[in-house]
Structure 1
Amino acid sequence: MERIKPKRLLPGDTVAVTAPASWGDRDKTEAAAGYLERLGLNVILGETTRKKHGYLAGTDAERADELNRLFADESVKAIVCARGGYGTGRIAPMLDYAAIRANPKIFWGYSDITFLHSAIGRYAGLVTFHGPMLIDLGREDLHPATLEGFRMMLEPVVPAYGEELSPLQVLVEGEAEGELTGGNVSLLTSTLGTPYEIDTRGKILFLEDIDEEPYRLDRMFNQLKQAGKFDDAAGIAICDFHNCEPNKRKESLTLEQVIGDHILTSGKPTLAGFRIGHCSPNAAVPVGIRARLSTRKKLLEGLEPGVQA
């Protein structure tokens, strides 16, 4: 499906906050909304930001209905997810992808939101944004680069990720171009065998996760490898794997060994160390734009902005 881009935001535009996965602290969510308001935006909080249904922010129907309504609402110009957690895969079959394509707007989030990036990209063709949640903006140690990422909403910025935020390591030399896709490894793995399965053919795949021990990542990487996702990719960007250290098992492979066994064997250009994911700073990434990965330059760069001018 041909990719479409949302329009950039203008001062006074309305940004809606929704919780399509787990619930979060309403007070913290309201406080964090102030950061977007200081960008000159009008922020409204969806009903799901105050709902609880077990570990979910309301029932599947409530969360899906709110997301569908927000995409259909012409007064809403962007949708920012309050937090991740769990549950987006449950609502993917309930979304109106034709309406999403007919009403393209900025959709922003990461972690569990990865499932929706994959689903919306496949069935609506919309460029979306893998970026910090609203709740991340309420952190006391908020990094300026995390907040800077939201500039992609306001300007047709062509992103570039070099060594400004962290040192990068060349794992497999080479250069690749392709559409940018990826996100949280746990969620990408959970798309396999579903109608929303991640498509990596000829694409640059970026990967991140949190609190997954090497033996668990071993299983997920192995499944992705056997599904052909690494061989199909044009290039691979290894991002932040926060707290992915051995805990349950005293004798363990390292994360680096697991990556070597399953990802580097594909032979695809691979660069590691990007501050994208459950980390600070958390750099924003437009999912679906054309991009280039160069190990010689130690650079992952967009070839176009994520929004229309």
Structure 2
Amino acid sequence: MSHAPHHAASGIYLISPSGAVADPKRVELACARLTKLGFKTAVDRAALAVHERFAGTDRQRLAGIARALKQKLPIVMATRGGYGLGRLLPFIDWQAVADSGKIFIGHSDFTVFHLALLARTGASSFAGPTAVFDFGSPTMDDLTADLFAESMRGELEILSFETTDADAVDARGILWGGNLAMVCSLVGTPYLPKVKGGILFLEDVCEHPFRVERMLTQLWQAGVLQRQKAIVLGHFSDYRLASHDNGFDMPSVVRWLRASVKVPVVTGLPFGHVKMKATLPVGRKVGIATEKGMAHLVLEEHF
């Protein structure tokens, strides 16, 4: 089962299934910007709730997800990531989520929602901007907004991006992945999709390269990485190196990844905890091809 975007997908319902929203004005700003893009918006009544570091208690956040399935707007967007969705996974009716036909979008902690939905039902969703981090930021990246709108309306067929370090590849497979730490958190659970011959995309934030390598090692030794046709790396941002790293940095990790896993690796995907990010269909079959200095993700094609 897959959820294809609809040309009539012109309304967005905002929920907060993870961390608490620190500044409600950023949600207001997000709604204003989404309205200018042509989307009606509605905010769940518990979206601004606060309980400890979370956007409400577990029960409140689960109720917000349930309300999102019943309301009329076709797109459901997370206000933000943070932490908290993982502890809700066993209590979500995944078949009801799939049967709702809603288009879910978010990133960061929302990665576990994407992957659990795919694992439990085969339904697709979208990794992309959130209300607070993207549409509610003081300055909005125009290309992020345009790519989001085109994706929601089914108008984005090919995503091309520059890459300075890509292996030769021309493959088709299920696109899946997201935040690396969140992907690793699902290993050994029923919420990690068993994708063979897929195209795995990964990103992370505030993780030193050795921690990135450690998480990649876990996915490799769990048998996940070597089952893919390609590994596509987005941004690994906001980390600090130490003097004793002695030159060890993300390029070292990528070299190790290639040598160990022997699956084509493509870098430069415009996705991660950065202002400019693409909107990517998680759980749908896509194509990927590289040429000198460029990579192309074919998002809409008759396979």
TM-score (norm 2): 0.91
Residues 210 and 115 of structure 1: is their aligned pair in 2 closer, same or farther, counting only changes over 3 Å? same
Q: Is the 8 A contact 2:229 2:264 kept in 1?
A: yes
2:124 matches 1:127: yes
Aligned residues: 298
SS in 2 for 1:87: coil
CA shift at 1:226, angstroms?
A: 0.5
Q: Which residue identity is paired with 1:141?
A: T
User: 2:150 matched to 1:152?
Assistant: yes
> What is the CA deviation profile of residues 188-243 of structure 1, one whole-angstrom value per residue up to 9, with x for unaligned ones?
00010111024331100011111101121121111011011110111111111112
What pairs up with 1:60-75 in 2 under 5 angstroms? 60-73=58-71, 75=72
Give 1:248 shift.
Answer: 8.8
Of the three residues 82, 94, 114, the one matched with 1:117 is 114
Unaligned 5+ residue runs, structure 2?
Answer: none
Label 1:150 to 1:303 Cα distance change in 2 as closer, same or farther (>3 A).
closer
Change (3 A) 1:9 1:174: closer
Task: Describe how 1:70-89 pairs up with structure 2 within 5 A.
Answer: 70-73=68-71, 75-89=72-86
CA contact (8 A) 1:221 1:263 kept: no
The 2-side partners of 1:64 and 1:247 are apart by 41
CA distance in 1, matches of 2:141, 2:195: 31
Aligned letter for 1:103? Answer: S
Contact 1:180 1:290 in 2 (8 A): yes
2-side partners of 1:20 and 1:263: how far apart? 36
Contact 2:69–2:97 under 8 Å retained in 1: yes
Residue of structure 2 in register with 1:4 after alignment:
2
Change in CA separation of 1:68 and 1:249 when aligned onto 2, cut-off 3 Å: farther
Code of the aligned partner of 1:151: A
Going from structure 1 to structure 2, the CA distance change for 1:263 and 1:186 (only over 3 Å counts) comes to farther
Q: Which amino acid letter does the alignment assign opposite residue 202 of structure 1?
A: G
Structure 1 gaps, min length 5: none
Task: Report the CA distance shift for 1:92/1:247 in structure 2 as closer, same or farther (over 3 A).
Answer: farther
CA drift of 1:96 comes to 0.9
**How many angstroms does 1:250 deviate by?**
5.1
RMSD (Å) for aligned C-alpha atoms:
2.0
1:96 aligns with 2:65: no
Question: What is the TM-score with the length of structure 1 in the denominator?
Answer: 0.89
Among 132, 139, 142, the alignment partner of 1:141 is 139
Is the 8 Å Cα contact of residues 5 and 153 (structure 2) preserved in structure 1?
no
CA distance in 1, matches of 2:288, 2:240: 27
